[in-house]
Copies of this chain bind each other. A is one copy, B any other.
Amino acid sequence: MPSAEARRATRKPARGATVAHAPAAKGALAKRVARMEGQIRGIGRMIEEDRYCIDVLTQISAVQAALDKVALGLLDDHARHCVMGAEGEQRVDRTNEMMAAVGRLMRRG
């Protein structure tokens, strides 16, 4: 079995290579994430102000839907570039890794 160091090296493509996202897609993702940060802050404020629980839960569901969309966007990009762009054994490893991530997303954590 390779050392953790070695596995990490194989697993992570060099920066700026396959991982760099198209600037447009990256900007859109960053914007979504910034919006979510605001939504979470709003949820904190609602709790602080003793707002009606059901209204807070509705906001939480909205953030969950937004997180799912960001996750799908990243996964899509990852499948196309990092997984399909790889060859041989590395592609097998990355497919395993991607499927494990899909499993965590389905079970939520």
Contact = CB atoms under 8 A, between A and B. Distances in A.
A95 B102 contact: no
Contact of A107 (B29, B82, B83, B108): B108
Given A52-B11, A61-B108, A97-B54, A72 B103 contact: yes
Contacts of A67: 60, 63-64, 67
A95 B44 CA distance: 25
A13 B52 contact: yes
26 contacts: A11-B52, A12-B52, A15-B50, A19-B52, A19-B53, A26-B48, A30-B48, A33-B40, A33-B44, A37-B41, A53-B77, A53-B78, A54-B78, A57-B101, A58-B101, A60-B105, A64-B68, A65-B109, A68-B107, A71-B106, A75-B99, A79-B79, A83-B84, A84-B95, A102-B105, A107-B107
